[in-house]
C-alpha cells in the first residue's frame, strides 16, 4: 500500500465571480522513500491539491469529493461525517508530525516577531514530549542538519536577520523537526537564486535518503524535477494530464502539453529555439467540458472540445489523458 | 538604546521650547486679560499695581524672557485668577485625581477593546460580530457627554447602584472611567478586529497550522503580537490624552480635575496656568511617544531604534 494515495480529489473555492474548480478529480500515489514531482504552471491546481491534503485550504476552499488515504487512514474531510472538530483535531495530530509541508516563499512564511528557535521547536512541542533543555539541543541539531552554520546564534535571531536561502532552510528544518513520514514541498526553490536552488534540492534528496520519507515536490521547473524525482505527474487546468517515470516523461512525452513544456526548457546542447505555448490557461470558474488544454493545443480535434479523454495506460507507469493517444496516435 | 533615548529626549526639550514660545505669544494675541469681568471695575491704581505684580506692564518679549527664566528654575508663578496660590500647588492638587481616572479608563479601554476585537474577529456567529461592531460604531459616533448622562440616569438615579459625584471610593470611578473609555474601546475594537483578520490571512499563520499548532495557540502565540503593533501606536497618544483629563467628563461628574482647570484657565486668561498646563501636557505627550516607539521596537524586532547599535 502506498504511503499517500489520493483518489478523484476535487477541490473548489467559492468566490464572488462563482465557484472556482481548482482541482478536478485527480488521483495520485506516493510510496515511502520516493520523490514524486507534480509539475504545472501557476493556477493548474498543483498547490491547492496539496493544501487539500494538508487541510490548509483558505476559508473559502472546500474539498468536494474524493479520498485521501495517508498512512492507512482516510484523511479527507469528507470522511469525518461533517464533524469539522474531529477532522481538525485529527489533522492537528498529524500535521508537522507524520505529515509536513515545506512552503514556497521564505520571506512570508516565517513569523516576523518570533525568534527562529521559537518557530523551530514548535512542532516538537506540539507532538513530542521533550524536556525544555533537550528542545534547544534538538533545535541546534536541526539547523546543523539543514546546513546552517553557527546555529546557536541563528536560533536567537529573527527571520529578517537571515538571508532568503537561510530562511528556506529554516522552513525545511521546521518541516523535518518530527521526522515526518511524508513531506510535501511546495515550490521550495522558486523564490531562491539558482545556485541556492540546486543546494536546496540536494538537501531534500539527502534528507529523504536519511529518513526514508516520501516526498512530493511541487514545481513548475522541469529542471528541478529532472534532477530529483523518480516519477512525475503533469497537471493542467485542475487535472492530471500525464504521469510516468521521469524517463518516460522526458524521453517520450505523449500529451501535447507535456511536449510543450519540454520545448520551453532551455537545452544548451540543442540549437532549437525555445517554443512558448501560445494562449493562457482555462477559466476554472466554468471549465471546458472536454480537455482543458484544447484551446492551446495545435493538434486539437472536434472531440477534444466536448469530452474529457480517459487516462490511457501506455505502460505500468506511464499514463496519459489525450484523445490523440486514445485513437492510437496520429 | 541609551543613545537613542538621550537623542529623543533632547529633541523633546527643543519641542517643548517651541511649544512654550508659540503658546506664549498666541495667548497674548487673544484679546482680554486675566483681570477682565468683575475685576474690570477696579480702580486704575489697583489695576496698575496688579499689572506690575505680574510683569504685565512690561513689553511682551520682556515678559516672555522673564517667564522662561523662571520656568527653567522650576518656578511657574502664581495663578493670576486665584491670587496667592502657586500654579504648582493647583496642579499637584488636581492632577492625581485626573491621572488615576485616566489610567483606569486607559486600562479598561485596552483590556475591553482587545477582548472585543478578538471576539469580533474570530466568532463564527455572524450576529455576535455584527453586534460588537454595532456598539463600536455607536461608541465612536455618539459624544461622550451623552452616554455619560445616560449612565448617570440609569445606574445612578434609576437603579441607584453607583455614586454619581466625585471620586471618593473605587465605585466612584466606574461611571466616569467607562464614559472616558467608551470612545477608545470602540476604536481599539475596530483596530484589533481588522488587524487580526489581516494577520490571520498571512502565510506565517498557514505555516504555524502546518506544524499542528491548535487554533487557540496560533491566536495567542503567533497572531496577537503581530496584531498589537497598530494598537500600541494608537494606545500611546491615547494614554497622554486620557491622563490629561477631560473637561466634559470632569464637569459632569463634578471631579476636581486638571481637565476643567485647563479649560477654565483659557477662558479666564490665566496666563501662568495656561503656560504651565501646556508645558505639562506637552511633556506627557513627548514622553509617551518615546515610550510608544520603544514598545513597538520591543514587540517588532524589525524596527530598529538605534541604527548604530544594530
- Chain A residues with CB-CB distance to B200 below 8 A: none
Quick one: average pLDDT of B208-236? Answer: 93
- Chain B residues with CB-CB distance to A122 below 8 A: 208, 211, 213
B92 within a domain of the structure (yes/no): yes
User: Do the Cβ atoms of B158 and B246 come closer than 8 Å?
Assistant: no
Note the ipTM here: 0.89
User: Do the Cβ atoms of B19 and B279 come closer than 8 Å?
Assistant: yes
Q: Which of A113, A127, A177 sits opposite B299 (nearest CB)?
A: A113
A192: phi then psi, degrees, rounded to nearest 5: -110, 160
Query: Which of the residue ranges A221-230, B193-202, B281-290 would you say has the lowest mean pLDDT?
Result: A221-230
B153 within a domain of the structure (yes/no): yes
Q: Which residues pair with A236 in a beta bridge?
A: A239
Name the more confident of A104 and B310: A104
The helix, strand and coil proportions of chain A, stated in percent and rounded to the nearest 5, come to 35, 25, 40
Task: Output DSSP code: residue A273.
Answer: P
User: Do the Cβ atoms of A169 and A148 come closer than 8 Å?
Assistant: yes
Name the more confident of B207 and A286: B207
What is residue B310's predicted lDDT score, i.e. its pLDDT? Answer: 37
Query: Could you tell me the pTM of the whole model?
Result: 0.83
Q: Which of B203, B214, B226 sits opposite A105 (nearest CB)?
A: B203
Measure the CA–CA gap between A202 and A211, rounded to whole angstroms: 14
Length of chain A counted residue by residue: 330
Measure the CA–CA gap between B137 and A229, rounded to whole angstroms: 56
B288 within a domain of the structure (yes/no): no
B235 within a domain of the structure (yes/no): yes
Quick one: average pLDDT of B147-160? Answer: 90
Domain A4-98+184-195+205-282, CATH among 3.40.50.2300, 3.40.50.300, 3.40.50.1970, 3.30.9.10: 3.40.50.300
Question: Does residue A326 register a pLDDT over 80?
Answer: no
Question: Does residue B173 register a pLDDT over 50?
Answer: yes
What is residue A182's predicted lDDT score, i.e. its pLDDT? Answer: 94
Quick one: average pLDDT of B267-288? Answer: 90
What is residue B282's predicted lDDT score, i.e. its pLDDT? Answer: 93
B173 within a domain of the structure (yes/no): yes
Cell numbers of A57, please? 485550504
Quick one: average pLDDT of A136-146? Answer: 93
Helices B271-299 and B258-267: angle between axes, nearest 10 degrees:
140
- Supply the range of the domain harboring residue B228: 87-271
CATH 3.40.50.300 in chain A is located at 4-98+184-195+205-282
Cell numbers of A156, please? 536567537
> Between residues 211 and 250 of chain B, which touch chain A (CB distance below 8 Å)?
211-215, 221-222, 225-226
Q: Which of B202, B206, B211 sits opposite A174 (nearest CB)?
A: B211
Mutate to test the interface with A, among B209, B212, B214 (most CBs of A within 10 A): B212
What is residue A329's predicted lDDT score, i.e. its pLDDT? Answer: 44
CATH code: domain of residue B134: 1.10.3720.10
User: Do the Cβ atoms of B299 and B228 come closer than 8 Å?
Assistant: yes
Query: Which of the residue ranges A227-231, B42-46, B133-137, B206-210 would you say has the lowest mean pLDDT?
Result: B42-46
What is residue A330's predicted lDDT score, i.e. its pLDDT? Answer: 41
Cα angle at B74 between B256 and B239, to 5 degrees? Answer: 45
A319-320 and A312-313: which strand pairing?
antiparallel
Measure the CA–CA gap between A24 and A37, rounded to whole angstroms: 18
Quick one: average pLDDT of A66-82? Answer: 90
What is residue A97's predicted lDDT score, i.e. its pLDDT? Answer: 94
In whole numbers, what is the pLDDT of chain B averaged over residues? 88
What is residue A276's predicted lDDT score, i.e. its pLDDT? Answer: 79
Quick one: average pLDDT of A232-258? Answer: 93
What is residue B74's predicted lDDT score, i.e. its pLDDT? Answer: 83
B29 within a domain of the structure (yes/no): no
Q: Do B302 and A112 touch (CB under 8 A)?
A: yes
> Alpha-carbon torsion B253, B258, B263, B264, what sign?
positive
Element at B202 (helix H, strand E): none
CA-nearest of A315, A287, A319, A282 to A297 is A282
Measure the CA–CA gap between B238 and A223, rounded to whole angstroms: 56
What is residue B284's predicted lDDT score, i.e. its pLDDT? Answer: 92
What is residue B309's predicted lDDT score, i.e. its pLDDT? Answer: 43
**pLDDT tens column, A259-282:** 988 887 766 666 667 777 888 888
Cα angle at B265 between B256 and B34, to 5 degrees? Answer: 135
**pLDDT tens column, A47-61:** 999 999 999 999 899
Question: Does residue A232 register a pLDDT over 80?
Answer: yes
CA-nearest of B28, B181, B40, B208 to B111 is B181
Quick one: average pLDDT of A7-30? Answer: 93
Q: Mapping DSSP to helix (H, G, I), strand (E, B) and coil, where does residue B213 land?
A: coil
A158 CA: distance to closest CA in chain B (Å): 7
Residues in A whose CB is inside 8 Å of some CB of B read 54, 56, 58, 88, 91-97, 100-101, 103, 105, 108-114, 119, 122-123, 126-127, 158, 160, 171, 174-175, 177
The count of domains in chain B is: 1
**pLDDT tens column, A172-203:** 999 999 999 999 999 888 877 788 888 888 88
In whole numbers, what is the pLDDT of chain A averaged over residues? 89
A82 φψ region: left (φ > 0), alpha (ψ -120 to 50), beta (else) = left
Question: Does residue B307 register a pLDDT over 70?
Answer: no
Return all residues near B163 (Cβ < 8 A) that are at least 6 apart: B156, B169, B171, B172
Question: Does residue B283 register a pLDDT over 50?
Answer: yes
B11 within a domain of the structure (yes/no): no
Query: Which of the residue ranges A232-241, B231-240, B259-268 would you say has the lowest mean pLDDT?
Result: B259-268
Residue located via cell numbers 531534500: A204
A/B interface, count of CB pairs below 8 Å: 75
B28 within a domain of the structure (yes/no): no
Say if B289 is an interface residue toward chain A (CB within 8 Å). no
User: Do the Cβ atoms of A37 and A215 come closer than 8 Å?
Assistant: no
> Between residues 195 and 214 of chain B, which touch chain A (CB distance below 8 Å)?
201-204, 206-214
Residue located via cell numbers 464533524: A83
What is residue A86's predicted lDDT score, i.e. its pLDDT? Answer: 92
Q: Do B301 and A160 touch (CB under 8 A)?
A: yes
Amino acid at each position: 500500500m502506498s504511503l499517500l494515495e489520493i483518489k478523484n480529489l476535487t477541490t473548489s473555492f467559492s468566490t464572488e465571480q462563482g465557484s472556482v474548480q481548482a482541482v478536478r478529480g485527480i488521483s495520485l500515489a506516493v510510496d515511502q522513500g520516493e520523490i514524486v514531482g507534480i509539475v504545472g504552471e501557476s493556477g493548474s491546481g498543483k498547490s491547492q491539491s496539496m493544501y487539500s491534503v494538508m487541510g490548509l485550504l483558505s476559508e473559502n476552499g472546500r474539498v468536494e469529493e474524493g479520498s485521501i488515504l495517508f498512512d492507512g487512514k482516510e484523511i479527507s474531510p469528507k470522511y469525518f461525517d461533517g464533524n469539522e472538530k474531529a477532522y481538525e483535531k485529527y489533522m492537528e495530530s498529524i500535521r508537522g508530525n507524520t505529515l509536513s509541508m515545506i512552503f514556497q516563499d521564505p520571506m512570508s512564511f516565517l513569523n516576523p516577531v518570533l525568534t527562529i528557535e521559537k518557530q523551530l521547536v514548535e512542532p516538537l512541542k506540539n507532538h513530542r514530549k521533550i524536556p525544555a533543555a533537550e528542545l534547544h539541543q534538538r533545535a541546534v541539531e536541526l539547523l546543523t542538519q539543514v546546513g546552517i552554520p553557527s546555529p546557536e546564534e541563528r536560533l536567537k535571531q529573527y527571520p529578517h536577520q537571515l538571508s532568503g536561502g537561510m530562511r528556506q532552510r529554516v522552513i525545511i528544518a521546521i518541516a523535518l523537526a518530527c521526522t515526518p513520514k511524508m513531506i510535501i514541498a511546495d515550490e521550495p526553490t522558486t523564490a531562491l537564486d539558482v545556485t541556492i536552488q540546486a543546494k536546496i534540492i540536494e538537501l531534500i534528496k539527502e534528507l529523504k535518503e536519511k529518513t526514508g520519507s516520501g516526498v512530493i515536490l511541487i514545481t513548475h521547473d522541469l529542471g528541478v524535477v529532472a534532477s530529483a524525482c523518480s516519477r512525475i505527474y503533469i497537471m493542467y487546468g485542475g487535472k492530471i494530464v500525464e504521469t510516468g517515470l521521469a524517463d518516460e516523461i522526458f524521453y517520450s512525452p505523449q500529451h501535447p502539453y507535456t511536449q510543450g513544456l519540454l520545448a520551453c526548457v532551455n537545452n544548451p546542447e540543442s540549437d532549437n529555439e525555445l517554443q512558448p505555448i501560445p494562449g493562457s490557461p482555462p477559466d476554472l470558474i466554468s471549465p471546458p467540458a472536454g480537455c482543458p488544454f484544447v484551446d492551446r493545443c495545435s493538434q486539437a480535434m472536434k472531440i477534444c472540445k466536448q469530452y474529457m479523454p480517459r487516462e490511457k495506460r501506455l505502460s505500468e507507469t506511464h499514463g496519459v489523458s489525450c484523445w490523440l493517444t486514445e485513437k492510437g496516435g496520429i | 538604546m541609551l543613545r537613542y533615548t538621550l537623542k529623543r529626549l533632547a529633541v523633546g526639550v527643543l519641542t517643548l521650547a517651541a511649544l512654550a514660545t508659540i503658546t506664549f505669544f498666541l495667548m497674548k494675541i487673544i484679546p482680554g486679560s486675566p483681570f477682565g469681568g468683575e475685576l474690570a471695575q477696579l480702580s486704575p491704581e489697583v489695576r496698575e499695581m496688579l499689572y506690575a505684580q505680574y510683569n504685565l506692564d512690561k513689553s511682551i518679549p520682556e515678559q516672555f524672557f522673564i517667564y522662561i527664566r523662571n520656568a527653567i528654575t522650576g518656578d511657574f508663578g502664581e495663578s493670576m485668577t486665584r491670587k496667592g496660590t502657586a500654579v504648582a500647588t493647583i496642579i499637584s492638587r488636581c492632577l492625581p485625581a485626573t491621572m488615576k481616572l485616566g489610567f483606569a479608563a486607559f486600562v479598561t479601554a485596552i483590556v475591553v477593546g482587545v477582548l472585543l476585537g478578538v471576539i469580533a474577529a474570530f466568532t463564527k456567529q455572524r450576529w455576535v460580530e455584527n453586534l460588537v461592531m454595532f456598539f463600536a460604531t455607536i461608541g465612536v459616533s455618539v459624544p461622550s457627554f451623552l452616554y455619560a448622562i445616560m449612565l448617570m440616569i440609569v445606574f445612578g438615579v434609576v437603579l441607584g447602584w453607583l455614586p454619581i459625584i466625585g471620586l471618593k471610593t473605587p465605585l466612584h470611578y466606574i461611571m466616569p472611567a467607562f464614559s472616558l473609555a467608551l470612545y477608545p474601546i470602540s476604536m481599539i475594537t475596530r483596530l484589533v478586529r481588522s488587524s487580526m483578520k489581516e494577520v490571520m490571512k498571512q502565510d506565517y499563520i498557514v505555516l504555524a497550522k502546518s506544524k499542528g499548532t491548535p487554533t487557540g495557540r496560533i491566536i495567542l502565540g503567533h497572531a496577537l503580537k503581530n496584531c498589537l503593533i497598530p494598537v500600541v501606536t494608537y494606545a500611546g497618544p491615547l494614554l497622554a490624552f486620557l491622563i490629561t483629563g477631560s473637561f466634559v467628563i470632569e464637569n459632569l461628574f463634578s471631579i476636581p480635575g486638571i481637565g476643567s482647570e485647563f479649560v477654565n484657565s483659557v477662558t479666564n486668561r490665566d496666563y501662568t496656568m495656561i503656560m504651565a498646563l501646556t508645558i505639562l501636557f506637552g511633556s506627557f505627550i513627548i514622553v509617551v511617544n518615546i515610550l510608544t516607539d520603544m514598545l513597538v521596537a520591543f514587540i517588532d524586532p524589525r524596527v530598529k531604534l538605534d541604527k548604530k547599535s544594530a
